[in-house]
Amino acid sequence: MPPESPGEFRRYRRLLSWLVLGFVSLGSAYLLVSVGVTIYRRRHAFPIGAEVGAQASAADLESCAEELGDVEQGLERHLENFHLLEHYDPSEAQRWAEDRGFWLGQWKAADERCHFAEARPGLHAKDWEELAGIHGQLHETEAIYTRELVRFGQKQAPLLDLIREHLEKVGKRIGAEAPATAASPHPGDMQP
């Protein structure tokens, strides 16, 4: 076998390094675009289907009811994500506020698509009125919960933190004063 010339080997390495560089660059660009799209979609809701016109069909009514069901489930998840009594954490509250913005986007996107406030004559007029009422009630529920959350964060959370700290101090003091009583069994636990 004849030995390879040094020039040929350098060209091969150069080509390989350019291919690796291109692959890494494309992979990095894809990753960045993917993260950007995910963040954008997380913060902005889109209407699910085509806009519903004034002469809506039964299929339009059904799809709008399903979309409103998705908005309701999103509200449930959003409200469950913040636990009031654990500890008021400002960064957690900020994340919750961002989730609130996404939910409001979903709520508005459903209205932009289905136009719940418009009067719809015809066979399903009563159903459209009920969906419009549910759409409004979802927003009222979210607004009341948010108002109570803000009130709790401003007035009750600091008080609850003080109570928790005081209880911990008293618990430590009690534990330090009576280590023997903690080790002794209760009279009901003794067997004859």
pLDDT tens-digit series, residues 80-93: 776 554 566 677 77
Tell me: do 81 and 129 sit in the same domain: yes
> Distance between CA 66 and CA 1 in Å, rounded?
72
Contact criterion met (CB below 8 Å) for 65 and 128 = no
Under the banding of pLDDT at 50, 70 and 90, the label for residue 23 is: very high
Q: What percent of the chain has pLDDT over 90?
A: 14
Please give the pLDDT value at position 176: 76
105 with 154, same domain? Answer: yes
Q: Are residues 31 and 57 in the same domain?
A: no
What is the pLDDT, as a whole number, of residue 182? Answer: 45
Same domain, 62 and 137: yes
Task: Please determine, for residue 105, whether its predicted confidence score (pLDDT) is greater than 80.
Answer: yes
76 and 107 assigned to the same domain: yes
Same domain, 95 and 12: no
Answer for the pair 113, 48: CB distance below 8 angstroms, yes or no: yes
Predicted confidence at residue 12, as pLDDT, reads: 83
Host domain of residue 14:
7-36
Average pLDDT along the chain? 78
Question: Is the model's pLDDT at 106 over the cut of 80?
Answer: yes
On whether residue 44 sits in a domain, the answer given is: no
Rounded distance between C-alpha atoms, residue 188 and residue 17, angstroms: 78
> Over 90: is that where the pLDDT of 20 sits?
yes
- Whether residue 112 is contained in a domain is answered as yes
pLDDT at 8: 65
- Least trusted range by pLDDT, from 119-128, 138-147, 149-158, 180-189: 180-189
Domain count for the chain: 2
Using the predicted structure, report yes or no on whether residue 44 has a pLDDT greater than 80: no
Question: Are 17 and 97 in a shared domain?
Answer: no
Range name among 8-12, 40-44, 59-63, 122-126 with the lowest pLDDT average: 40-44
Is 182 within a domain? no
Q: Quote the CA–CA distance of 142 and 80 in Å, as a whole number.
A: 12
Residue 2 lies in a domain: no
List CB contacts of 78: < 8 A, sequence separation 6 or more.
96, 99, 100, 102, 103, 142
In this predicted structure, which of 19-33, 75-89, 147-161 has the lowest mean pLDDT? 75-89
Residue 185 lies in a domain: no
Cα separation of the two ends of the chain: 95
pLDDT at 83 (0 to 100): 58
| 68 plus 122 within the same structural domain | yes
Give the number of C-alpha atoms closer than 13 A to the C-alpha of residue 173, restricted to the C-beta side: 6
Burial group, residue 93, by CB count within 10 angstroms (0-12, 13-18, 19+): middle
